[in-house]
Amino acid sequence: MSERKITLSEKEIPERWYNIVADMPNKPRPPLHPGTKEPISPDMLAPLFPQALIEQEVTTEKWVGIPEEVRDFYSLWRPTPMFRAREFEKALGTNCRIYYKYEGVSPAGSHKPNTAIPQAYYNKQEGTKRITTETGAGQWGSALSFACHHFGLECEVYMVKISFNQKPYRKLLMNTWGAKVFASPSTETEAGRGILAKDPDSPGSLGIAISEAVERAAQRDDTKYALGSVLNHVLMHQTIIGLEAEKQMEIAGDLPDIVIAPFGGGSNFAGLTFPFLRHNLTEGKNIRCIAAEPASCPKLTRGVFRYDFGDTVGMTPLIPMFTLGHNFVPSPIHAGGLRYHGAGAIVSQLLHDKLIEAQSVPQLECFEAGVKFTGSEGILPAPEATHGIAIAAREARAADLAGTPKTILFNLCGHGYLDMAAYQSYFDGKIIDHELSAEEVQALIDQIDTPPVG
Ligand SMILES: *Cc1c(COP(=O)(O)O)cnc(C)c1O
């Protein structure tokens, strides 16, 4: 039999998360207070997050233990499988070896529960009653609803309006896990009402939805906020993906030359790549780590490295990030999870220091790659995940042309079985490419009035 699937036993679920900050040559710059523009102290985050997560946000410890209760609940779906994509290799006609780590086996269908579970756990431990959050495509909202339900917490989700309308099943899944879901911008919050007054037809954005969720959490003592990406502790929780993948590559007797993941705020990218990047930082290895972002939201490839708000209204701390400006509302592409104006501080610093790479992909190339993948490997990828597949196909082609076949690993970060409307658009010929012109990008950058980074 040709080996396709590389599995680990429950006992091999990692016992610690990896914190790349410990190994970074240049540490990420501190977040700034949105008003004073001075570095914020961790306790200023206390109204929004439990203490344990604030500590994880700023820690420089290299390894952080995973609580036994979290590890135990992870075993509901972890370790996740890794596959050698033999059929996809054939479909591409490549000499490269392609592997993928499949996070779609989680109950919510993506990597998001890897952080939703510990976030709900620490909140529960510290007496939180309700958690608010935003969601783009609905993946994060589902994951947090699932986690809150398990730990007996209430969950309130602000869902980007375009996705709310495109993805009714995601909303219903959240409702099934007991969450309340609002289309954002909503009339529930001041932030939402403000946006609606200016633009009643606003399709919404992750930045707007974050403003709404943060506003709600700040109003009540028993309510905290949770973020599904961008922040340091979120990226750290996701490293369980790459730590498992490292063991699986070892079992396969292979080592990746190139590791690829789709990029929204950076969590699944960090999750898969950081444990591999660690070998570059500490042992002088040379594994290429590539973030795959949509051409319609190209903050890593065409944005600037600046301090910027995490949200649209300007309520969150200023984070040093690659950004197109917090006012940027990306066109309503189908990969809702990748429609975010900025990137996390750690990933941005790594990109600035040229320790990782980024490439952008147009929507059509993504769907073509996604359909080819489904036709060969069988699994139907989330529209977000197709970005990683498209870059894997590009890199395989480039390696073949250069006559130097490579070992490529990518993150299949979620399945797309609740995203069939996106595939319908593709089959109906309604998917179009939205590439920003040089003038549009320049106009966005000119609008940024937040401080430069150090
Ligand atoms: C949320 C999500 C993303 C984007 O978020 P990251 O933090 O960049 O990982 C990508 N793919 C899927 C399937 C998602 O659910």
Report whether pLDDT(289) > 70. yes
Cβ of 296 closer than 6 Å to ligand 1, yes or no, is: no
What's the CA gap between 211 and 171, in Å, rounded?
Answer: 20
Cβ of 265 closer than 6 Å to ligand 1, yes or no, is: yes
Same domain, 321 and 217: no
CB atoms within 10 A of CB 378: 10
Q: Which of 291, 292, 287 is nearest to 246 (CA)?
A: 287
The runs of H, that is alpha helices, within 59-133 are 68-74, 86-92, 113-125
Same domain, 33 and 94: no
Cβ of 337 closer than 6 Å to ligand 1, yes or no, is: yes
Same domain, 244 and 221: no
What does the mean pLDDT of the chain come to? 95
Question: Which residue in this structure is represented by tokens 């040709």?
Answer: 2
Same domain, 84 and 190: no
Question: Which residue in this structure is represented by tokens 């690993």?
Answer: 409
> Per the domain annotation, does 13 fall within a domain?
no
**Shortest-distance atom of ligand 1 to CA 266:** 8
Q: Whose CA is nearest to atom 15 of ligand 1?
A: 139
Find the mean pLDDT for residues 208-215.
92
Q: Whose CA is nearest to atom 13 of ligand 1?
A: 414
Find the mean pLDDT for residues 232-256.
98
Predicted confidence at residue 58, as pLDDT, reads 95
Predicted confidence at residue 2, as pLDDT, reads 63
> Per the domain annotation, does 289 fall within a domain?
yes
Same domain, 156 and 175: yes
pLDDT in tens, 94-116: 999 999 999 999 999 999 999 99
Per DSSP bridges, beta strands 82-84 and 97-102 are antiparallel
Cβ of 294 closer than 6 Å to ligand 1, yes or no, is: no
Same domain, 45 and 148: yes
392: left (phi over 0), alpha (psi -120 to 50) or beta: alpha
What angle is formed at CA 155 by the lines to CA 149 and CA 156, rounded to 5 degrees? 155
> Per the domain annotation, does 418 fall within a domain?
yes
8 A C-beta contact, residue 356 and residue 407? no
Cβ of 293 closer than 6 Å to ligand 1, yes or no, is: no
| Phi/psi at 180 (5° precision) | -95, 135
pTM above 0.75, yes or no: yes
> Per the domain annotation, does 309 fall within a domain?
yes
> Per the domain annotation, does 15 fall within a domain?
no
Domain count, the chain: 2
CB atoms within 10 A of CB 244: 25
Quick one: pLDDT band at residue 338, thresholds 50, 70, 90?
confident
Same domain, 258 and 375: yes
What angle is formed at CA 277 by the lines to CA 273 and CA 281, rounded to 5 degrees? 165
Same domain, 192 and 209: yes
Amino acid present at 89: E
> Per the domain annotation, does 211 fall within a domain?
yes
Predicted confidence at residue 137, as pLDDT, reads 83
- Torsion, Cα of 427, 429, 430, 432 (10° steps): 110
Q: Among residues 229, 257, 274, which one ends one of the domains?
A: 229
Cβ of 110 closer than 6 Å to ligand 1, yes or no, is: yes
> Per the domain annotation, does 60 fall within a domain?
no
Q: Among residues 206, 229, 252, which one ends one of the domains?
A: 229
Q: Whose CA is nearest to atom 8 of ligand 1?
A: 264
Same domain, 242 and 189: no
> Per the domain annotation, does 6 fall within a domain?
no
**Shortest-distance atom of ligand 1 to CA 136:** 1
Q: Whose CA is nearest to atom 5 of ligand 1?
A: 264
The runs of H, that is alpha helices, within 255-344 are 267-283, 299-302
Same domain, 102 and 242: yes
Q: Whose CA is nearest to atom 4 of ligand 1?
A: 264
The runs of H, that is alpha helices, within 327-411 are 345-352, 363-377, 385-402
Q: Whose CA is nearest to atom 2 of ligand 1?
A: 337
Pocket test for ligand 1, best of 413, 415, 417, 418 (most atoms within 8 A of CB): 413
Question: Which residue in this structure is represented by tokens 């905290």?
Answer: 224
Domain of residue 385, CATH code = 3.40.50.1100
Same domain, 274 and 388: yes
Same domain, 75 and 154: no
Cβ of 350 closer than 6 Å to ligand 1, yes or no, is: no
Domain that holds residue 304: 68-109+233-444
Q: Among residues 210, 229, 248, which one ends one of the domains?
A: 229
Cβ of 344 closer than 6 Å to ligand 1, yes or no, is: no
Predicted confidence at residue 16, as pLDDT, reads 98
